[in-house]
Amino acid sequence: MFPLPPSGMIMTTESAQLADLMRRVRALEIVREIEQLKYRYLRACDAKDAAAFRDCFVREGADLDYGVLGQFSDREPLVQIFEAVARSRGGDGSWLVHDIHHGHHPSVEVIDENTATARWTLGFVTLHVTPGLLTQASMEYEDRYVTEDGRWKIQRSYAKPLTSVTTAVPAGVMLGPGIKA
């Protein structure tokens, strides 16, 4: 996974064990950093935070396939859809779409210090105030991560739908305020 010392360098048992331990700890740190990146992405979706959403992806050359939302070769077209749909408002200024994104079962594989892949299961609930529909869905993300300016970013993300159920919101249901506009 990570490079070994230069060939010809003699290592003691203790130094070899220490080097191995350091490699394993760094791999765990990378996995944690990538998990935190995905959680920031999911939180940005729910908080309708376009700047934080954008910052989760590489600046240029992202490879994104979000199914019905489209396929993109850069983050900006996806950010534009996010802004148009997730951040849409009614005449009174309230949000028209309320989302809950929950990432589950991360399986992260560290390729090297600057590259990793992962699979995630997404549990997703969205409420479209107009026309009054509630959707519960799940999908599988297959992601590739790279470092950019010393931080992990999503370089590739393919979202494959697994399940989806949509139903009308019953009349008289009390809808909470959602996040503040």
Residue 157 maps to which CATH number?
3.10.450.50
Distance CA(70)–CA(84), nearest Å, equals 14
Cβ atoms of residues 141 and 109 within 8 Å:
no
Identify the bridge partners of residue 148 per DSSP, sorted by sequence position: 151
Q: What is the span of the domain harbouring residue 21?
A: 13-168
Please count the structural domains in the chain.
1
Please check whether residue 18 lies inside any domain of the structure: yes
pLDDT, one tens digit for every residue, the chain (181 residues): 566 556 555 668 988 899 999 999 999 999 999 999 999 999 999 999 999 999 999 999 999 999 988 999 999 999 999 999 999 999 988 899 999 999 999 999 999 999 999 999 999 999 998 889 999 999 999 999 999 999 999 999 999 999 999 999 988 887 776 777 5
Cβ neighbours of residue 77 closer than 8 Å, sequence gap 6 or more: 70
Q: Structure pTM?
A: 0.88
Distance CA(128)–CA(150), nearest Å, equals 38
Please check whether residue 4 lies inside any domain of the structure: no
